[in-house]
Amino acid sequence: MDMEKIQQLKEIIDSSEKIVFFGGAGVSTESGIPDFRSETGLYNAQKQYGRSPEEMLSNSFFTHYTETFFDYYKKNLIYTDALPNKAHLALAKLEEMGKLTGVVTQNIDGLHQLAGNKKVFELHGSVLRNICMRCAAKYSLDDIMEMPGIPRCECGGIIKPDVVLYEEMLDDNVVSGAINAIRQADTMIVGGTSLVVYPAAGLIRYFKGKNLILINKSQTSYDSQASLVINDSIGEVLGACVL
């Protein structure tokens, strides 16, 4: 780990009053949740189902092949044993300290809240919330995991995870909340994302603050615009700075 850059980041965090964190799949992979868009995820989906993950996680696939959708979804997107890692814990501590004003996440696992964060904008929804499409009754993740095949409500309706599928729009309230937090931030830390998934990645353009920090194992197209770039594990970096 580049200790000089860690020291720089520590100083930026110390001098910041409104930090927003924007995170992607890399934050969750460090808790043992694989990225379904990774080479392995792609290979497994093609091998087992003969389709891409993006196709199987689309609204039209959910509508036309509901049982196969749930088979794939339960096996590949649900990790009930996953626990928050150092990145989640560091962010929760920053919020507790009054420095972090929001977490904007592309992840659907609820680990930020489990770690203790209260102000979380879940751009792609959450596997923890599930709603009957007919009567709007709410179900937990445990409820739908216990139901074989297609999860159904007592009213007979299909229970759909509160997750934004491909072909679906992001929730306007979540997006506007995220944009407001980003606009008001003096520091934005972006971690565990290659910034290629839109429209989420486009939210960075709303940041007008002082420090744009990018922490990602590989380079991104925004590196040239950042105040500080650290190519390392998001958990290790934030853990070293905050915990």
- Per residue in 197-230, pLDDT tens? 777 778 999 999 999 999 999 999 999 999 999 9
Q: pTM value?
A: 0.96
Cα atoms in the Cβ-side hemisphere of radius 13 Å centred on 178: 25
What spatial distance separates the first Cα and last Cα of the chain, rounded to whole Å? 16
For range 37-66, the mean pLDDT: 95
Residues classed as catalytic:
124
**Contacts for 207 with CB less than 8 Å, ≥ 6 apart:** 20, 182, 183, 185, 188
- Give the 3-state secondary structure percentages of the chain, helix then strand then coil, rounded to 5: 45, 20, 40
Domains of the chain plus CATH, in order, are 3-33+83-124+170-242 (3.40.50.1220), 39-79+133-163 (no CATH)
The predicted structure's pLDDT at residue 194: 86
